[in-house]
Amino acid sequence: MTRSVLAAAFLSVAVFSAACLGGPARAHDEALSPERKAEIEALVRDYILQHPEIILESVAIMQAREEAEKNNAVKQALVDNREALERDPADPVLGNPDGDVTIVEFFDYQCGYCKSMMQPLLDLVKSDGKIRLILKEFPILGPASETASLASLAAARQGRYTEFHTALLRLRGRLSTEAIWQVAVETGLNLDTLKADMQDPALQAHVRKSFALAKALEIQGTPAFTIGEHVIPGAVSKEQLAELIAQVRADS
């Protein structure tokens, strides 16, 4: 329960009580005397003590209203940012480039849930055959994550994004720069070229775009997904993703 919601609930009771005592016109036309103020405060206190449920009811209503407003804002952000979410030519695309449903994943290479979801997600994309999977580099877990994201985008220039991406997510233990270089060598990347490409400001700008999109969609952690009109924060099962995909297809 936020302080703003609780304060608003008390305010609504106070306004109601003031209206009962003097009416809205009188409340606006004259300042309350100390005696009248004390009378209103006593009435509010007595009413709350006799009917404490009104506070919980007010809070529930206001929280529901806040949640609805937030959901509407996120839906509008999806509409406003659809092109940047799903059609950015700099984004890696897995699965079917011409698929009828697009999943966008915001992920971090050090996120344990991202690691655990990788294979089920890839299996779903493969078995379905009509899913476009857009991967948004969202390195929120420190410098090593940022290095891994830039390295992955640079690996795409050598045509090995998928191999490098999956290899990094399969790593166990703490990610380090040395581990990233080792994975690059193991996946057949030219390390000198990779490091040079990572310095391209365009790659850093692309990562910043992912952060801007996440902020607009109120995404604060990884993994997070967008599918159709839905924003899904946190890890979900392959079955839940399949249900959402079926729903998007049914609605289209």
Q: Which amino acid is residue 93, in one-letter code?
A: V
Q: What is the dihedral of CA 106, 110, 111, 117, to 10 degrees?
A: 80
Residue 188's contacts (CB-CB under 8 Å, 6 or more residues apart) are: 160, 163
Query: What's the whole-number mean pLDDT along residues 224-243?
Result: 94
Beta bridge partners of 103: 133, 227
What confidence tens digit (pLDDT) does each residue in 2-56 have? 544 444 444 454 544 444 444 444 444 457 788 888 888 888 888 888 888 877 8
Q: Where are the domains of the chain?
A: 3-74, 83-251
What confidence tens digit (pLDDT) does each residue in 45-97 have? 888 888 888 778 878 888 778 777 777 778 899 999 999 999 999 999 999 99
23, HSE (Cβ side, Cα atoms, 13 Å)? 3
The answer to whether 142 and 94 have CB atoms below 8 angstroms apart is: no
Could you count the other beta carbons within 10 Å of the beta carbon of residue 101? Answer: 20
Q: Which CATH architecture has domain 83-251?
A: 3-Layer(aba) Sandwich (3.40)
| Residue 30: predicted pLDDT | 58
What confidence tens digit (pLDDT) does each residue in 148-159 have? 999 999 999 999
Phi-psi category of residue 23: left, alpha or beta, with phi > 0 → left and psi -120 to 50 → alpha: left
| Residue 97: predicted pLDDT | 95
| Tokens linked to 125 | 């994309």
